Amino acid sequence: MDYAFHLMVMVGIYVILTLSLNLVVGYTGLAVLSQAGFACVGAYTSALLALDFGAPAWLGAVAGGALAALTGGGLALCTSRLKGDYLALATFGFGVIVYSVAKNWTQLTRGPLGLPGIPPFRLFSFGLSSAWAFLLLVGVAAAATYWVLERIVRSPFGRVLAAIRDDELAAEALGKNVGQFKVQAMMVSAFFAGVAGSFYAHYVSFIDPTTFSVMESVAVLLMVVFGGMGSLVGSVMGASVLVLLPEALRFLGLPNEYAAPVRQMIYGLLLVLVVLKRPQGLMGKAMS
């Protein structure tokens, strides 16, 4: 049961990451590959506050999300003139920079040695160190993230984001400050990514730079595309399937020497089939 609870905790964390990325990729139409970088900022901020200053995990999560949001706003301002592939490359580069800082600023982050002994969240005097207890917390956080983002995308603000995605020039012609809306969307997305990173740090009690490599950003983007861009329900489904599917493939009963590569091949084949047969994702709108 602990194994099942652990998987569900990881699903919850990735659901938060995927929902947050969908806001900028699916609803605003920005090609962003920096979600792991924001999660890294949130994780290290929360972990260092807890280890060095004894701050409670709740405060660390808020501080990590806030710093990630400020970082996201700065990144959006720096890349405001970029679009498409160029924006993707710039945000990918941001992820590389964050990873390099975490790896090489050893006086602060301990570099490749990582930060061990990160304390868990506490509810009154009860430590949420077990998987089932933390699952309740992550479940509430994921549901709150979904609720907040749904309110955002259904609001006038969200309709402007959709207009920017569909036709940025038309949105500007209507008098909308497109750059400001992009910055705000990126900040909201980065905030939730930072909170997800904080949750991960306090759950596993250890982080190092490899946890937040740029390939994690690619994985989260894949979850968004798989579930359907511009669909919050799709983000939940995409994260759930792509976190649980590799684990399900462990039970195929393959010989040990072939198990890992065959699982990867089957996993990749299933993704290719979904892209070919349903390019709009599981819950995305039909593509013309």
> Are 198 and 43 a contacting pair, CB within 8 Å?
yes
pTM over 0.95: no
pLDDT at 286 over 70: no
The overall average pLDDT reported for the chain is: 89
Residue of 145, 115, 138, 140 whose CA lies nearest to 10: 138
Q: Where are the domains of the chain?
A: 2-212
Which one-letter amino acid corresponds to residue 95? Answer: G
For tokens 């806001």, name the residue: 23
Task: Show contacts of 4-11: CB within 8 Å, 24+ apart.
Answer: 5/130, 5/131, 5/132, 5/135, 6/131, 7/243, 7/244, 7/247, 8/135, 8/138, 8/139, 9/131, 9/134, 9/135, 9/138, 9/203, 10/243, 11/239, 11/240, 11/243, 11/244
Model confidence at 258, pLDDT cuts 50, 70, 90, reads: low
What count of Cα atoms within 13 Å lies in the side-chain half-sphere of residue 36?
27
Decide: helix, strand or coil at residue 119.
coil
Q: What integer pLDDT is reported at residue 118 of this predicted model?
A: 94
Mean pLDDT of 165-169: 90
Express each pLDDT in 68-115 by its tens digit. Answer: 999 999 999 999 889 888 999 999 999 999 999 999 999 999 999 999
- What are the DSSP calls for 168-191, one per residue? HHHHHHTT--HHHHHHHHHHHHHH
How far apart (Å, rounded) are the C-alpha atoms in residues 238 and 15? Answer: 8
Q: How far apart are CA 248 and CA 263, in angstroms?
A: 9
pLDDT given at position 23: 95
49-67 pLDDT, tens digit per residue, is 999 999 999 999 999 999 9
pLDDT value at residue 263: 67
Q: What is the pLDDT of residues 202-234, one digit of tens each?
A: 999 999 999 999 889 988 998 998 888 889 999
Those residues whose C-beta lies under 8 Å from the C-beta of residue 125, and which sit 6 or more positions away, are none
pLDDT of residue 159: 94
Average pLDDT (148-172) is 93
- Distant-in-sequence contacts of 57-61, Cβ < 8 A, 24+ apart: 57/119, 57/120, 57/121, 57/122, 57/198, 57/202, 58/121, 60/198, 60/202, 61/195, 61/198, 61/199, 61/202
Q: What is the pLDDT of residue 279?
A: 75
